[in-house]
């Protein structure tokens, strides 16, 4: 499977490197408005530098990896789908649910595979948790609790274009919640505040937030997010079911523990998302390649991107209006 990669920034470099290192896949062409970024990654991976158009129209390109800025995602997906390419697109599809719907209609018409990069589903710990959940480890799901805390806030310039915490950061947790609840949320209540950075508050966003999701049968998800965690990148799932509890969590930087008169001390947890989710990035790409090769629809699909975005929109509205918001069916 020959890939064209659009976008050679931080996330593009990860996916590009993973394609290049995988047997049965080839990173053929890289396009980026920043020629140096494209060339740098090309020299590392053996790919050629090209244009977006060359990738979209290239007859020897089977799949397009979209790692461009968010506002280009939907049109690139459409163009690639129309050209018959399989598409792997970083989340989100778009910051507008309406625009996502239109985009998915184009993809549906083209009949081409589309996978959205909700990488956390592929984290080996979270994936193992999901597998055991599906095999009945704790019976029917009742409460899902997700804690996600970044080590430190991103730059304000990033915040300004991010769509806000619920669409930028918690969207991952909305996807995970859907993945784990086994049922669609029908309502969301969100609260948030700017406790980490007054500047984030002035920019109209929050940096500390918590959400309640409800499903029709009465299952509940609790999510909390913060843009700060001095002890590392905190990413935890806990699921309670009729027969017990299952959880998965963080990895400490080392297994070293020191005991002295002040107690027992172990290391902070891994604190960079590229390290925390390195395996997840690799495994989601494997899943995409495997599905497309086998003629199966890849998952998470465009519809998953849409549902997560709808929840994020509703959460944003809830946080601003101080009301519980129903989510469209």
- 184-203 residues near its own copies, rule: CB under 8 A: 187, 189, 191-196
Tell me how crowded residue 95 is: count the other CB atoms within 10 A of its CB: 20
Rounded CA gap, 25 and 16, in Å?
11
Interaction of residue 240 with its own copies, rule CB under 8 A:
yes
| Least spacing, CB of residue 219 vs its own copies, in Å | 7
| Least spacing, CB of residue 140 vs its own copies, in Å | 7
The residue from 267, 286, 303, 317 that contacts its own copies (CB under 8 A) is 267
The structure tokens listed for 72 are 């280009």
Interaction of residue 222 with its own copies, rule CB under 8 A:
yes
Instruction: Kindly tell me the number of DSSP H helices and DSSP E strands found in the chain.
Output: 13, 15
Handedness of CA 120, 222, 244, 329 (dihedral sign): negative
| Least spacing, CB of residue 250 vs its own copies, in Å | 7
The residue from 155, 260, 295, 329 that contacts its own copies (CB under 8 A) is 260
The residue from 90, 234, 284, 313 that contacts its own copies (CB under 8 A) is 234
| Phi-psi sector, 163: left (phi>0), alpha (psi -120 to 50), beta | left
Tell me how crowded residue 261 is: count the other CB atoms within 10 A of its CB: 4
User: Cβ distance 281 to 15 under 8 Å?
Assistant: yes
- Give 94 or 150: the residue with its C-beta nearer to its own copies: 150
| Least spacing, CB of residue 43 vs its own copies, in Å | 12
- 30-69 residues near its own copies, rule: CB under 8 A: none
Q: What residues form DSSP beta bridges with 193?
A: 208
Interaction of residue 258 with its own copies, rule CB under 8 A:
yes
List the beta strands (DSSP E) in 150-215.
185-193, 208-215
- Give 191 or 278: the residue with its C-beta nearer to its own copies: 191
Which of the 8 DSSP states describes residue 269?
B
Rounded CA gap, 299 and 119, in Å?
11
Q: Which CA distances in Å does 3 have to 16, 83, 286?
A: 9, 14, 13
Of 89, 19, 80, nearest to 309 by C-alpha is 89
Tell me phi and psi for residue 4, to 5 degrees.
-110, 135
> Binding string, 148-167, against its own copies, x = CB under 8 A?
-x------------------
The residue from 210, 278, 301, 327 that contacts its own copies (CB under 8 A) is 210
- Give 64 or 188: the residue with its C-beta nearer to its own copies: 188
What is 70-119 written as a DSSP string?
A: HHHHHHHHHHHHHTT-EEEEESPS-S-HHHHHHHHHHHHHHT--EEEE-G
- 126-145 residues near its own copies, rule: CB under 8 A: 128-129, 132, 137-138, 140, 142-143, 145
Interaction of residue 204 with its own copies, rule CB under 8 A:
no
Pairing of strands 185-193, 325-326: antiparallel
| Least spacing, CB of residue 259 vs its own copies, in Å | 4
Interaction of residue 256 with its own copies, rule CB under 8 A:
yes
The residue from 10, 161, 247, 296 that contacts its own copies (CB under 8 A) is 247
The residue from 35, 230, 274, 297 that contacts its own copies (CB under 8 A) is 230
- Give 51 or 189: the residue with its C-beta nearer to its own copies: 189
Q: Which stretch binds its own copies (CB under 8 A): 35-43, 78-86, 229-237, 284-292?
A: 229-237
Of 95, 106, 146, 154, nearest to 123 by C-alpha is 146
| Residues engaged in binding its own copies (CB under 8 A) | 124-125, 128-129, 132, 137-138, 140, 142-143, 145, 147, 149, 187, 189, 191-196, 208-210, 212, 214, 217-220, 222, 224, 226, 228-231, 234, 240, 242-252, 254-268, 322-324
């Amino acid at each position: 499977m020959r890939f064209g990669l659009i976008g050679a920034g931080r996330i593009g470099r990860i996916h590009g490197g993973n394609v290049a290192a995988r047997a049965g896949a080839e990173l053929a062409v890289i396009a980026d408005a920043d020629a140096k970024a494209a060339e740098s990654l090309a020299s590392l991976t053996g790919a050629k530098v090209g244009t977006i158009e060359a990738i979209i129209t290239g007859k020897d390109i089977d799949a397009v990896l979209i790692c461009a800025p968010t506002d280009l995602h939907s049109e690139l997906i459409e163009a690639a789908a129309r050209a018959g390419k399989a598409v792997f697109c970083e989340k989100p599809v778009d910051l507008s649910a309406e625009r996502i719907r239109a985009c998915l209609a184009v993809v549906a018409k083209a009949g081409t595979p589309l996978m959205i990069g909700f990488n956390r589903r592929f984290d080996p710990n979270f994936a193992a948790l999901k597998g055991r959940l599906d095999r009945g480890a704790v019976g029917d799901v009742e409460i899902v609790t997700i804690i996600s805390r970044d080590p430190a806030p991103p730059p304000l310039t990033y915040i300004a274009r991010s769509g806000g915490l619920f669409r930028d950061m918690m969207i991952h947790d909305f996807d995970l919640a859907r993945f784990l609840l086994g049922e669609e949320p029908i309502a969301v209540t969100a609260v948030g505040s700017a406790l980490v950075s007054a500047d984030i508050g002035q920019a109209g966003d929050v940096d500390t937030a918590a959400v309640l999701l409800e499903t029709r049968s009465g299952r509940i998800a609790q999510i909390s997010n913060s843009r700060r965690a001095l002890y590392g990148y905190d990413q935890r799932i806990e699921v309670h079911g009729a027969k017990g509890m299952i959880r998965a969590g963080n990895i400490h930087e080392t297994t070293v523990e020191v005991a002295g008169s002040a107690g027992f001390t172990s290391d902070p947890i891994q604190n960079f998302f590229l390290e925390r989710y390195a395996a997840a990035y690799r495994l989601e790409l494997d899943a995409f390649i495997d599905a497309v090769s086998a003629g199966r629809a890849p998952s998470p699909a465009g519809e998953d991107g849409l549902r997560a975005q709808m929840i994020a929109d509703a959460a944003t509205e809830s946080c601003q209006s101080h009301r519980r918001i129903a989510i469209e069916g």
